[in-house]
Structure 1
Amino acid sequence: MEDDLDHIEEGKVDWVKVLSSFYKSFEKRLEVAEDEMKEVEIQDEVSDEVCDKCGRPMVYKMGRFGKFLACSGFPDCRNTKPIVKEIGVACPQCHEGRVIERRSKKGRIFYGCDRYPACEYVSWDKPAGKPCPTCETMLVEKRNRSGTRLQCPQCGYTEELPDSEQA
């Protein structure tokens, strides 16, 4: 086939004839493959979470915005939950919630309070969980080519992060 395509490129052979001769044998093999193909059933991965509404185990599903948790009792129970990734930092605004990693509609990662909409804390930069020694505002991680540093969004204080702490 590759030689035939080279001949077509050189203008020595008519491309319609080459493709029609290839397709005749290919079409027969395609029909056989369709007849012999079995339907594939993808098993859901069970999580440790329990459904808030019916008590059945939650399973991981894949949707158009990525993975999420859904009740294994679908269609009787239609409960779903987002997969939450905690970063281990208390919310600097309300001091009650935890900061979690989220994704914007365009897929960009940002950080916000898990108590949203009661607390509207959000940040594009990952909170470090450490207060600024100058003004007590929570430091955030800033990444660049040379590594990661901690920076205060309020007063501009910066400190380099040791290599062992960089993720």
Structure 2
Amino acid sequence: MSKIDQQLFSAHEHALEKEYETCPQCGQSLQVKNSQHGPFLGCSAYPECDFKRPLQQHGDITKVLTGSSCPLCQHELALKQGRYGMFVGCTQFPECQHIASLSQATATDIACPNCKSGHLVQRKSRFGKLFYACDSYPKCKYAVNEPPVAQPCPECDWPILTVKKTAAGKRLVCPQKQCKYKSEPI
């Protein structure tokens, strides 16, 4: 058997232990604990003390955008890391609640078939999937998952059709659930 240097293992164990601050409620040390939602800092005196805090703070300022101003309070805006990715928010949070998304919606020239006053725009969900929704949201909540085409359905006269990819190829499909129209592969 070869000899194992025990100092290597003890040095590694000490590197994993990180010093955290004390609990603001009871003064005991805080420990890294795990839950189904991920790691967090919790009081070592649990269950007597129930203090807990996320390991990573959301909404942390990554970079202040100099020269920009909040439309609500005229303070500077900042690039922040949030729960669903990067966004722009006011530096005076929580007093000022202004936020803006970094992604721009891509407009189409197709009128919304539901409200007939808005247009469909391409958006991205928090999971990265593209969808097409009315730009009059929240007044109109119409949305489709496939790219729309400004062509009426020959069966039900719905103002748009969508392009759906199937095993046979791309087809024009009516987005109305009760209508079963599908074109021949394109």
TM-score interval, normalised by the smaller of the two chains:
0.5 to 0.7
Q: Quote the residue 1:119 is aligned against.
A: 140
Higher helix share: 1
Alignment correspondent of 1:77: 96
Counterpart contact for 2:113–2:158, Cα < 8 Å: no
* Pair 1:54-2:73 in alignment: yes
Where does the alignment leave 5 or more consecutive residues of structure 1 unmatched?
1-11, 35-40, 162-167
Shift of 1:19: 7.4
Q: Hey, what does 1:156 align to over in structure 2?
A: 181
CA distance in 1, matches of 2:69, 2:165: 37
Residues 52 and 152 from structure 1, CA distance in 2 versus in 1: closer, same or farther, beyond 3 angstroms? same
Q: What are the superposed Cα offsets for residues 125-158 of structure 1, whole Å, 9 maximum, x if unpaired? A: 2323x12363352121212457644333346243
Distance 2:167 2:100 in 1: 36
Q: 1:132–1:50: structure 2 CA closer, same or farther, 3 Å change rule?
A: farther
Q: Does 1:140 align with 2:165?
A: no
User: Which residue is 2:117 aligned to?
Assistant: 96
Give 1:165's aligned residue.
none
Cα distance change of structure 1 residues 118 and 78 upon mapping to structure 2, 3 Å threshold = closer
In 2 relative to 1, CA 49–155 (structure 1 residues): closer, same or farther, beyond 3 Å?
farther
Give 1:75 shift.
5.1
Q: Distance in 2 between matches of 1:96 and 1:110?
A: 19
Identity %: 28
Distance 1:63 1:55 in 2: 22
CA distance in structure 1 between the aligned counterparts of 2:173 and 2:146, rounded to whole angstroms: 10
Q: Retained in 1: the 8 A contact 2:153–2:181? A: no
Q: CA deviation at 1:43?
A: 4.0
RMSD (Å), alpha carbons: 4.2
> 2:8 maps to which residue?
22
The separation in 1 between residues aligned to 2:98 and 2:107, in whole angstroms, is 25
Alpha-carbon separation, structure 2, partners of 1:45 and 1:142: 43
Structure 1 counterpart of 2:46: none
Say which of 78, 83, 86 aligns to 1:64.
83
Q: Deviations over 1:91-110 (max 9, x none)?
A: 22222223232426x76544
- TM-score norm. by structure 1 comes to 0.54
Farther-moved stretch of structure 1 (54-63 vs 64-73): 54-63
* Uncovered stretches (5+) of structure 2, i.e. residues with no partner: 20-59
Q: Cα distance 1:126–1:22, how it changes in 2: closer, same or farther (>3 A)?
A: same
TM-score normalized with structure 2 length: 0.50
